[in-house]
Amino acid sequence: MQLALPLWFEIGTYVVLGLILAFDLILAFKRPHVPSTRESALWIGFYVALALAFAGLMLWLGDAEHAGQFVAGWLTEYSLSIDNLFVFLLIMARFKVPRQYQQELLMIGIILALLFRGIFIVLGAALIENFSWIFYLFGAFLIYTAIQQVRTGPHDEVERESRMLGWVRKRVAITDTFNGAKLRTEVDGRRMFTPVLMVLIALGTTDLVFALDSIPAIFGITQSPFIVFTANVFALMGLRQLYFLLGDLVEKLEYLKYGIAFILLFIGVKLVFHAMHENELAFINGGHPIEWAPDIDTWTSLGVIVVSMTVAVVASLIRMRRAPVKSGSDGERP
């Protein structure tokens, strides 16, 4: 049986995380710049150390199960957040956003992601509390998402957004050039939106889609709203710096999407097994729990997540090293 975490710890965590996010937001807007590799690496190291220290506190104040669920949830959300970077890179490139303004827009995207995920966490917790059969739907959705992850890529996501953005352009006056990171500007005495509006719509849409994937995934690891939310916050913190650190390298991690797809498939199957254990649907086994369904514990989940991501990243790096180097520049003969 799990020990309950102290209420003061949960409240204190929300306050501290809120202050860190506020500081990060102020920093992004007050000091817009392209962070160096060293700066990005130091920030990412800080956020990873913070997450591990938080897991240590959960182990000390709670138990190993709490800490294990947090680490497994954090790693799952972190891997899905890295998947976000594929689409973020394409959006920034598509709208030719100047690099010095990308920090601010990325920070807004991260805040939107937290907002959407917070809403889905509340809804998901309420559904789980009242309808145990919802795990069947969550599991089926994740299995479907895993298949789509393999079949499609980030370019397909951007292509779907293009239709919506085209609809917006026809109805809203938007300039073709940026005016810093301003949302609106004046052209020949007329107030118009800048391309920042389109970038924010694209980022928001992406965040919404990824929130739909990530929340069922982490509820497959833990049903604690506190752990679900904190794992999401820690996964998104440092995402802005990771964007600048990895840059185009993210697109070259060819097998990463297969690792993420396997994790989603595994958690989807785990959710279906959990639903079978808790079964109350009359048309399945007469409304009785299905005892033979395996119960996959937190530590098995953590092992599968770590191994899947490690294999995917290592295989991608080996592929990069073995890939033939093109002679000459693009479109030119050597």
Predicted pLDDT at 59: 92
Cα distances (Å, whole numbers) of residue 268 to 139, 140, 141, 154, 209:
4, 6, 7, 22, 17
- In the predicted model, what is the mean pLDDT of residues 148-154? 73
Give pLDDT tens digits for 247-283. Answer: 656 667 788 888 888 998 999 999 898 888 888 888 8
What are the residues whose beta carbons fall under 8 Å from the beta carbon of 238, sequence distance 6 or more?
A: 43, 44, 46, 47, 48
Tokens of 116: 């959407």
Flag whether pLDDT at 11 surpasses 90: yes
Nearest to 173, CA basis, from 185, 161, 159, 160:
185
Tokens of 155: 């370019």
Predicted pLDDT at 170: 75
Name the strand (E) or helix (H) holding 185.
Answer: strand 184-187
- DSSP code for 286: G
pLDDT band at 326 (very low <50, low <70, confident <90, very high): very low
- In the predicted model, what is the mean pLDDT of residues 157-168? 64
Listed ranges 86-90, 153-157, 300-304; the one with the highest mean pLDDT: 300-304
Cα distances (Å, whole numbers) of residue 231 to 95, 116, 236, 246, 264:
31, 14, 9, 22, 16
- In the predicted model, what is the mean pLDDT of residues 113-125? 88
pLDDT band at 230 (very low <50, low <70, confident <90, very high): very high
Q: Chain-wide mean pLDDT for the chain? A: 82
Return the higher-pLDDT residue of 70 and 204: 70
Flag whether pLDDT at 86 surpasses 80: no
- What whole-number distance in Å separates Cα of residue 285 and Cα of residue 201? 46
Flag whether pLDDT at 102 surpasses 90: no
Contact between 142 and 271 under an 8 Å Cβ cutoff? The reply is yes
Flag whether pLDDT at 41 surpasses 90: no
Tokens of 137: 């739907």
- In the predicted model, what is the mean pLDDT of residues 70-89? 84
What are the residues whose beta carbons fall under 8 Å from the beta carbon of 275, sequence distance 6 or more?
A: 132, 133, 135, 136, 139
pLDDT band at 327 (very low <50, low <70, confident <90, very high): very low
Flag whether pLDDT at 114 surpasses 80: yes
